[in-house]
């Protein structure tokens, strides 16, 4: 017997990627439903060789025994409809920021903390895209060397801001004004993702800090972050500086990463080999390179971490959670 699965926000950038990844991974789906806002009602989407008409999301949408729903329709939609879906026996895997820091909701990256799925109450949160790829690379290192402090500096693709961000780059290259970002993104770099908070950090920076602590079960871990938007379509890049409590040899760092699920090492400076977003686009793995000692501290390293933010950073991670639920 297959499952009844729904995608909420099916016509958006991540919603369409949900369909693509679900099809690739061939989940045992018996009944399939696609929901979106009223303006997308009637849109036809193709899935597994069939055509599906997008329904408007309503309070009674889940009155049909849906088992799992993948949400990517924004925080306000999730806050309203995730609890309704859960009350009908559906497990919601939510890609918005709505539930991530709720203590009653697990925040899950399957390669890092799959055990947290067990205590869900009908809602499981998908972390922020930049956090997901970071913790996939950090988890195996924390297991062996006990992380003391993290410094994040990110270089994030415009697709992380949805179609509006993507279009700002396309139009900006043509000399047209921007609509999504506060300044032009073409030929520019913006040290500004999401809104600024009272402490001078942006919301994106605080998301990375707080979500990393929650996923890795280290609520007092010292972390700081600077998140930056760059003129790249797909693929977030991150410079991650890590300080450990335990001593290490560099070859032990390589070994830990080489054997980690979902990680591919690309690190050969002699042949100019290192992770780049242009190569990570369309892939589900997290690519790690430029691994070297931080010679300014006793037990530190620098590494460069790249992944496709719409796939591993959103759609694939959610589908992996669904696969674990089905198991």
Cross-strand bridge partners of residue 50: 47
User: Are the beta carbons of 272 and 289 closer than 8 angstroms?
Assistant: no
Set 129, 183, 192, 217: catalytic member:
129
Set 120, 192, 217, 236: catalytic member:
236
Helix, strand or coil, per DSSP, at residue 223: strand
Q: What is the CA radius of gyration of the chain?
A: 20
> Does residue 90 carry a catalytic annotation?
no
User: Are the beta carbons of 97 and 84 closer than 8 angstroms?
Assistant: no
> Does residue 183 carry a catalytic annotation?
no
Q: What angle do CA 66, 71, 76 make, to 5 degrees?
A: 120
Around Cβ 131, how many Cβ atoms within 10 Å? Answer: 28
DSSP state of 16: H
Measured CA to CA, the distance from residue 117 to residue 319 in angstroms comes to: 13
Locate all alpha helices (DSSP H) within the chain, ordered by sequence: 13-25, 75-87, 129-145, 162-173, 203-215, 250-258, 277-280, 316-326
What positions carry a catalytic annotation? 129, 236
């Amino acid at each position: 017997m297959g499952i009844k699965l729904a995608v909420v926000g099916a016509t958006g950038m991540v919603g369409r990627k949900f369909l693509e990844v679900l099809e690739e991974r061939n989940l045992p789906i018996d009944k399939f439903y696609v929901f979106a806002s009223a303006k997308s009602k009637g849109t036809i989407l193709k899935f597994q060789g069939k055509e599906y008409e997008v329904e408007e999301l309503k309070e009674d949408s889940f009155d049909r025994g849906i088992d799992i729903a993948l949400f990517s329709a924004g925080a306000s939609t999730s806050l309203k409809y995730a609890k309704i879906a859960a009350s009908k026996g559906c497990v919601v895997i939510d890609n918005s920021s709505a539930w991530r820091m709720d203590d009653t909701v697990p925040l899950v990256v399957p390669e890092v903390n799959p055990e947290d799925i067990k205590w869900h109450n009908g809602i499981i949160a998908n972390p922020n895209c930049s956090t997901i790829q970071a913790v996939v690379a950090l988890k195996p290192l924390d297991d062996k060397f006990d992380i003391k402090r993290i410094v994040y500096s990110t270089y994030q693709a415009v697709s992380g801001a949805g179609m509006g961000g993507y279009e700002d780059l396309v139009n900006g290259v043509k000399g047209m004004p921007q609509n999504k970002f506060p300044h032009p993104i073409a030929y520019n770099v913006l040290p500004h993702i999401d809104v600024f908070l009272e402490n001078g950090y942006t919301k994106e920076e605080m998301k990375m800090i707080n979500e990393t602590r929650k996923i890795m079960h280290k609520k007092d871990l010292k972390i700081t972050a600077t998140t930056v938007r760059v003129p790249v379509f797909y693929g977030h890049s991150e410079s991650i500086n890590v300080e450990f409590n335990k001593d290490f040899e560099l070859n032990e760092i390589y070994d830990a990463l080489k054997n980690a699920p979902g990680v591919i090492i690309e690190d050969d400076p002699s042949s100019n080999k290192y992770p780049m977003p242009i190569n990570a686009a369309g892939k589900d793995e997290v690519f790690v390179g430029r691994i070297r000692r931080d010679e300014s501290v006793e037990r530190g390293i620098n590494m460069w971490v790249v992944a496709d933010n719409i796939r591993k950073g959103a759609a694939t991670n959610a589908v992996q959670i669904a696969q674990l639920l089905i198991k």
